[in-house]
Chain A
């Protein structure tokens, strides 16, 4: 088990996660766009937001890979199956708390369900289970995170 392998897994896993969610966009399952959501935290420029968002998402993927690695090290067990389980938990947290609750709180351009149009330039909030972005959003997000966790676990083992 090596931290570098976990970081490599984080890199590949984030690419797969991003690609999976993009594919879900194309399939009409969801309108969630994590790089766009992250990028608009730091800029109002749509094009820059998309580019910066990808970098931020990649960085976040590496941070989460380190967290996975720390837990693997603490329990002295790793592997793709455990990684998949972590990915499932990670996905549940993302859907229920991370993007749903935390992001609207810290995002300077995202409204809550109580916001009105004239309060500031607002991004559509994700809503319960991110369902505002489409009914397929929770399942697509969960599956993408399971893929991420599986890859990180597999690399780290």
Chain B
């Protein structure tokens, strides 16, 4: 039931994402846009009510009376349709971030169309922008009849048609109207960044909405996937496309910052960056989905971004390829009091050895799919293999970016082995220079020996979280997924079983046992659960994999999106959303199970 009074925070699962491959808006079930950064996904927010219900800013649009909300994405699109049923009638809101057209349009445009379906429904809308993560109050005024909100670099115009008279009250622009059966109202939030505002005509806004729906349908229709859980896979593909940064080809890990891993806790991170550790999964998923253009763009963006720090890799890069992502805390209340609210991410400067394996695995996937590497790129990849030979024996912060002291994480060592193994394979195929291939083989053997002797526990019947530890880590599943070759064939299947036994909470999997240098707890990481389904399929436990996938697919929000985690006690979604790695893991697990079934 949608209350007509002002509200605080809604469950994270109540958010649907709309976007244009430049930025993403989160629309709550009650019709409030509570998150929007302009002009790009990683820019400061103009709406951040999800992080501060009082000061964050939002764009509300809803019935002015109690209503039941039902919603869905228009089939095969990133356009959201919310239907409100009230005592007096039914009204439908269609929300989209418009794609640009040949007509002169705003820099970014959030379109909200309100259609009266039955009876008469009193509606209210209110735009309360707060630039710069709520730190910069807007100057509200008018240009002619059109209300505008002006910030230092950005400006918003609220253009409305048949949506009541737009009024101004302090920091809010608002209106009321009655949605009557057969009638249609339109509100366009038109953003300008470092340029004058553009005030569009109604017919152009409507045409862009229609073209945006057609674009998404066309894009989804081109996806090649025809295996199990097709709806969930296509929804995941559409969610990933939202996280694309169109100018560069980078893919953000998630659309939000600082949605908490624990309600009221401190594990609140900014995920609006591209992580190297996701690269192999990303390329694999894009190729499975039949997205060669996006795959090509992503691969070359990754190589360009990592060029400046060669041969070292940064853990993450900004969407424009930049390296700096300084972390700072904002003066915001935080989602249900979860502080600090961080933007930027200090993990960028951590040492994580696994990312070298991810990059070389990505290069192998790219070349196996027919991609070609130029000689300069080949030399760079060979240089990275040389670096791995020098640094693999150092401790690191591991894939989970723990803030406790560095360790010899088993997954990191496995990925170093994968890095050198893939370098050898690339050199054998003539993609990278082969002069040092014998040295890479030698070091790969040394890494393998380290993992097999120091990172295995007979007691646990599993590889361990790090050398000499008695703890487990779900990242060990990646050894199965990415093709680590153990000395005995039973070790990887035994590890899969041990992880399920020790870290499993129903269908869910916690990340690890042991310390990570942070206070509090966290939910179960959904990507680990999908990795488990994938690993089960690969080690021959196909029925268990299928059952697990079915259980996991019902944990998505009502429109099919996942946040980073689930609280195993309540099944509440936690963390940033929509989370790219979870959707990538879902796609790859569905493909693995389909293949194992002979599809």
Contact of A124 among B154, B161, B194, B196 (CB under 8 A): B196
Contact call A113/B143, Cβ cutoff below 8 A: yes
B122 interfacial by beta-carbon distance below 8 Å = no
Q: Which residues of B contact A122 (CB under 8 A)?
A: 198-199
- Chain-B contact segment, one of A10-18, A25-33, A60-68: A25-33
Contact of B196 among A114, A117, A120, A132 (CB under 8 A): A132
Contact call A37/B103, Cβ cutoff below 8 A: no
B485 interfacial by beta-carbon distance below 8 Å = no
Instruction: Report the minimal beta-carbon distance from B529 to chain A, rounded to whole angstroms.
Output: 43
Among A32, A114, A133, max chain B CB count under 10 A is at A133
- Closest A residue to B102 by beta carbon equals A45
A111 interfacial by beta-carbon distance below 8 Å = yes
Bound complex: CA A134 to CA B100 (Å): 25
A115 interfacial by beta-carbon distance below 8 Å = yes
Contact call A115/B144, Cβ cutoff below 8 A: yes
Q: Which residues of A contact B157 (CB under 8 A)?
A: 124
Contact call A116/B145, Cβ cutoff below 8 A: yes
Bound complex: CA A120 to CA B204 (Å): 10
Contact call A123/B145, Cβ cutoff below 8 A: no
Q: Which residues of A contact B192 (CB under 8 A)?
A: 31, 124
A28-B153, A46-B105, A124-B157 in contact; A116/B146 too (CB < 8 A)?
A: yes
- Closest B residue to A26 by beta carbon equals B194
Contact of B204 among A26, A31, A115, A121 (CB under 8 A): A121
A150 interfacial by beta-carbon distance below 8 Å = no
Contact call B152/A134, Cβ cutoff below 8 A: yes
B155-195: which residues lie under 8 A (CB-CB) from chain A? Answer: 155, 157, 159, 161, 192-195
Contact call A25/B153, Cβ cutoff below 8 A: yes
A25-B153, A44-B104, A117-B159 in contact; A123/B144 too (CB < 8 A)?
A: no
Q: Which residues of B contact A125 (CB under 8 A)?
A: 143
Contact of B102 among A32, A33, A36, A44 (CB under 8 A): A44
B519-544: which residues lie under 8 A (CB-CB) from chain A? Answer: none
A25-B153, A28-B152 in contact; A117/B194 too (CB < 8 A)?
A: no
Contact call B202/A118, Cβ cutoff below 8 A: yes
Contact call A25/B197, Cβ cutoff below 8 A: no
Bound complex: CA A132 to CA B150 (Å): 9
Q: Which residues of A contact B193 (CB under 8 A)?
A: 31
A58 interfacial by beta-carbon distance below 8 Å = no
Bound complex: CA A98 to CA B102 (Å): 28
Bound complex: CA A111 to CA B157 (Å): 14
A59-91: which residues lie under 8 A (CB-CB) from chain B? Answer: none
Q: Which residues of B contact A112 (CB under 8 A)?
A: 144
Contact call A31/B155, Cβ cutoff below 8 A: yes
Contact of A116 among B103, B104, B144, B204 (CB under 8 A): B144
Contact call B146/A117, Cβ cutoff below 8 A: yes
Q: Which residues of B contact A120 (CB under 8 A)?
A: 201
Contact call B143/A124, Cβ cutoff below 8 A: yes
Q: Which residues of A contact B155 (CB under 8 A)?
A: 31, 124
B378-408: which residues lie under 8 A (CB-CB) from chain A? Answer: none
Q: Which residues of B contact A114 (CB under 8 A)?
A: 144
Bound complex: CA A72 to CA B2 (Å): 72
Q: Which residues of A contact B264 (CB under 8 A)?
A: none
Bound complex: CA A49 to CA B145 (Å): 26
- Closest B residue to A116 by beta carbon equals B145
A141 interfacial by beta-carbon distance below 8 Å = no
Contact call A46/B152, Cβ cutoff below 8 A: no
Number of A-B pairs, beta carbon distance below 8 Å: 89
Among B105, B144, B196, B204, max chain A CB count under 10 A is at B196
Q: Which residues of A contact B197 (CB under 8 A)?
A: 123-124
Instruction: Report the minimal beta-carbon distance from B102 to chain A, rounded to whole angstroms.
Output: 6
Contact call A121/B200, Cβ cutoff below 8 A: yes
Q: Which residues of A contact B105 (CB under 8 A)?
A: 46, 121
Q: Which residues of A contact B199 (CB under 8 A)?
A: 111, 117, 121-124
Contact call B201/A121, Cβ cutoff below 8 A: yes
Bound complex: CA A108 to CA B309 (Å): 49
Contact of B144 among A37, A40, A111, A121 (CB under 8 A): A111
Instruction: Report the minimal beta-carbon distance from B433 to chain A, rounded to whole angstroms.
Output: 41
Q: Which residues of A contact B153 (CB under 8 A)?
A: 25, 28, 31
Instruction: Report the minimal beta-carbon distance from B140 to chain A, rounded to whole angstroms.
Output: 13
Contact call B198/A31, Cβ cutoff below 8 A: no
Bound complex: CA A65 to CA B375 (Å): 49
Contact call A33/B195, Cβ cutoff below 8 A: yes
Contact call B144/A133, Cβ cutoff below 8 A: no
Q: Which residues of A contact B102 (CB under 8 A)?
A: 44-45
Contact of A121 among B104, B146, B152, B161 (CB under 8 A): B104
Q: Which residues of A contact B204 (CB under 8 A)?
A: 121
Contact call A132/B143, Cβ cutoff below 8 A: yes
Q: Which residues of B contact A132 (CB under 8 A)?
A: 143, 150, 196
Mask, B121-144, CB within 8 Å of A = 1, is 000000000000000000000011
Bound complex: CA A113 to CA B148 (Å): 13
- Closest B residue to A32 by beta carbon equals B196
Contact call B196/A46, Cβ cutoff below 8 A: no
Q: Which residues of A contact B196 (CB under 8 A)?
A: 31-33, 36-37, 123-124, 126, 132-133
Mask, A89-121, CB within 8 Å of B = 1, is 000000000000000000001011111111011
Instruction: Report the minimal beta-carbon distance from B117 to chain A, rounded to whole angstroms.
Output: 25
Mask, A22-57, CB within 8 Å of B = 1, is 000110110111001100100011100100000000
Among A28, A116, A117, A133, max chain B CB count under 10 A is at A117
Bound complex: CA A109 to CA B159 (Å): 16
Q: Which residues of B contact A124 (CB under 8 A)?
A: 143, 148, 155, 157, 192, 196-199
Bound complex: CA A113 to CA B146 (Å): 10
Bound complex: CA A112 to CA B145 (Å): 11
Bound complex: CA A112 to CA B157 (Å): 15
Among B144, B192, B199, max chain A CB count under 10 A is at B199
Contact call A49/B104, Cβ cutoff below 8 A: yes
- Closest A residue to B143 by beta carbon equals A124
Contact call B143/A111, Cβ cutoff below 8 A: yes
Question: Would you list 26 pairs from A and B whose C-beta atoms are within 8 A, ordered by A residue?
Answer: A25-B195, A28-B152, A31-B154, A31-B155, A31-B192, A33-B194, A36-B195, A37-B196, A40-B104, A44-B103, A46-B100, A46-B105, A49-B104, A113-B143, A114-B144, A115-B144, A117-B145, A117-B200, A121-B105, A121-B200, A123-B104, A124-B192, A124-B198, A126-B196, A132-B150, A132-B196
The 3 closest A-B pairs by CB, nearest first: A124-B197, A28-B152, A124-B196
- Chain B residues at the A interface, C-beta cutoff of 8 Å: 100, 102-105, 143-146, 148, 150, 152-155, 157, 159, 161, 192-202, 204
Q: A29-B152, A46-B100, A109-B104 are in contact. List 12 more A-B contacts (CB 8 A).
A: A31-B155, A31-B195, A33-B194, A111-B143, A111-B144, A116-B146, A117-B144, A117-B145, A117-B161, A118-B202, A122-B199, A124-B155
